[in-house]
Amino acid sequence: MSEILDLAGIFVFALSGALMGVRKRLDVVGMGVLAGMTALGGGVVRDLILNVRPIAFQSLGYVLVPVVATVIVFFWHPHVARVMPAILVLDAAGLGLFCAVGTEKALEYGLNPLHAALLGVVTAVGGGMLRDVLAGEIPTLLYDRQLYAVPAMLGSACMAGLYAGLGLHGWPATLAAAVLAFVLRIAAMRRNWRAPLARGLSE
């Protein structure tokens, strides 16, 4: 079940990466690179930091899912763009899932709660940051005007607190942290919440 949810999150992230390729007028190779980076980049960085073989290189599905997403966007990108509001909801779910799972994996490998939470954030937003850099955009992590990284930070902190502070492991803790990040991300989209700029700067 966890792998299915993982692959679902990867698929949604890959769609957003491939759509970025369309907006940047990249060819199918560029679309595939952005899809793969968005979907797998955060998890690969996390696993390399933990000094373990990235899970993306242990299962064929983790490679095939971004390819499938790229093909779908290549042929039907106008239709995919039209259902973008639904994709953003799924993206928020993927954000919550990845920050919780990334934090838990880091804790299981012996990192302290603070470092584990930071690595959870990397898992959730690292792929999007790589996508933005390759596409010539300001990374969301550095310009969090839509509260994307903030929900991941709070979800990761929740996971670290439940795991290390209360001793809650497994799916109950993962679900609680993922739901927190998901709800905050959806609320930010619905209510147009923004992270503040430096004092004196206009919106």
pLDDT at 193 (0 to 100): 84
Sign, CA torsion 4/139/116/198? negative
Q: What is the largest CA-CA distance in the chain?
A: 50
CA–CA dist 55, 25 (Å, integer): 31
Q: Name the amino acid, one letter, at 51.
A: N
Please choose, from the candidates 64, 76, 52, 66, the residue with its C-alpha nearest in 3D space to the C-alpha of residue 17.
66
118-148: b (≥16 Cβ within 10 Å) or e: bbbbbbbbbbbbbbbebbeeebbbeebebbb
Write out 63-94 in H/E/C secondary structure. Answer: HHHHHHHHHHHHHHHHHHHHCHHHHHHHHHHH
CA distance between the termini of the chain: 43
- What's the pLDDT score for residue 80? 86
Per-residue pLDDT at 145: 59
For the chain, 203 residues long, the average pLDDT of each consecutive 10-residue run is 77 91 94 95 94 89 94 92 85 91 93 96 92 86 75 96 88 92 93 81 70
- Cβ–Cβ < 8 Å for 14, 35: yes
- Report pTM: 0.88
Which amino acid does the sequence have at 4?
I
